[in-house]
């Protein structure tokens, strides 16, 4: 599972906060209301050729969330 880019950026709380610890806390805090696949994939995400959404993670190119082609 690729890291959530949004939570990772949000975890940078300053020099006295461990990014890894804060990231883990944010994921736990948001687990009932997680970030969208687009947010998780990051601002430099790649577009999926199947569904056309920018949900391929910017580093790992993992497809974040299900690949659903909108119909209707
Ligand atoms: Zn997130
Ligand atoms: Zn897709």
pLDDT for 1: 75
Q: Ligand 2 centroid vs 56 CA: distance in angstroms?
A: 8
Note the ligand closest to the C-alpha atom of 31: 1
Long-range contacts of 64-70 (CB under 8 A, 24+ apart): 64/2, 64/37, 64/38, 64/40, 65/36, 65/37, 65/40
Return all residues near 33 (Cβ < 8 A) that are at least 6 apart: none
For residue 7, pLDDT beyond 70: yes
Provide the pLDDT confidence category of residue 49 given band limits of 50, 70 and 90: very high
Virtual torsion, Cα 17, 18, 22, 24, nearest 10 deg? -170
Region of 29 on the Ramachandran plot (φ > 0 left; ψ -120 to 50 alpha; else beta): alpha
Ligand nearest to the CA of 53: 2
pTM over 0.75: yes
Whether residue 22 has pLDDT greater than 80: yes
> If you measure from the C-alpha of residue 20 to the centroid of ligand 2, how many angstroms do you get, rounded to a whole number?
28
């Amino acid at each position: 599972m690729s890291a959530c880019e949004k939570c990772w950026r949000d975890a940078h709380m300053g020099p006295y906060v461990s990014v890894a610890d804060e990231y883990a806390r944010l994921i736990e805090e948001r687990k009932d209301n997680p970030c969208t696949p687009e947010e998780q994939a990051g601002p430099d995400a790649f577009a999926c050729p199947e569904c056309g959404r920018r949900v391929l993670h910017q580093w790992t190119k993992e497809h974040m969330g299900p690949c659903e082609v909108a119909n209707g």
